[in-house]
Chains A and B, each alone.
Chain A
Amino acid sequence: SQQGEEDPQALSIQEGENATMNCSYKTSINNLQWYRQNSGRGLVHLILIRSNEREKHSGRLRVTLDTSKKSSSLLITASRAADTASYFCATDLSSNTGKLIFGQGTTLQVKP
């Protein structure tokens, strides 16, 4: 069953604006990851945040993790049309098996 709930399900913004996506999960985790998928193609790994970390940055991406609330957010700053894609959070549970439980995903459209 799905571990993660993501919101919003869909997001439409103008180029240059920031996009924020949220993910909630149900059980203890080892880490949480964010992936991007363009038009049903392969998954691109964006960022991994461990359970003992609270915030992580990578370029225009900022991820936060609140283990007390079992939630994470992905912020994309200064969005570009090329950021148009589906974004998924995925959790590797505290047993650290390597298998991932995915959220439902957020579809982001960035209008030029």
Chain B
Amino acid sequence: SAVISQKPSRDICQRGTSLTIQCQVDSQVTMMFWYRQQPGQSLTLIATANQGSEATYESGFVIDKFPISRPNLTFSTLTVSNLSPEDSSIYLCSVATTGSYTFGSGTRLTVV
């Protein structure tokens, strides 16, 4: 199965600023996924990052708030923009290869 390196592992940010999270995969994958886990909650899919095209966002998530880049088949970034305390969550990237699903170790974001 694929191995994902996700950075940063945690950050504390001021409200109104932005945080960019990176995920590097050790193999080429067609689609990468970004999830949010709010405190005490389950994971919710934010968007699917497609190489060569715009990301596909789930209901309730918009590109202006969560811009995503996917410059190649092994890398993606998620930016959380105009931060507010409600954005404090764990953000995880994921890939799915044949029969195997892998998650990054997560980024714990605290907005103060």
Contacts and interface: CB of A to CB of B under 8 A. Distances in A.
Interface string A28-55: 0000010000001111010010000000
Instruction: Give chain A's interface residue range (CB within 8 Å of chain B).
Output: 20 to 34
B101 A100 contact: yes
A98 interface: yes
Interface in A10-24: none
B42 A2 contact: yes
Interface of B: 31, 33, 35, 37, 39, 41-45, 48, 59, 90, 92, 94-96, 99, 101-106, 108
A98 B59 contact: no
B23 to A, nearest CB: 13
B45 A99 contact: yes
B42 A100 contact: no
Contacts of B106: 41-43
Interface string A81-112: 00000001010100001111111110000000
A68 interface: no
A48 B99 contact: yes
Please name the 10 residue pairs, one residue from A and one from B, whose CB atoms are nearest each other, closest first: A98-B96, A42-B105, A102-B43, A43-B103, A102-B42, A105-B42, A104-B42, A99-B33, A42-B106, A98-B31
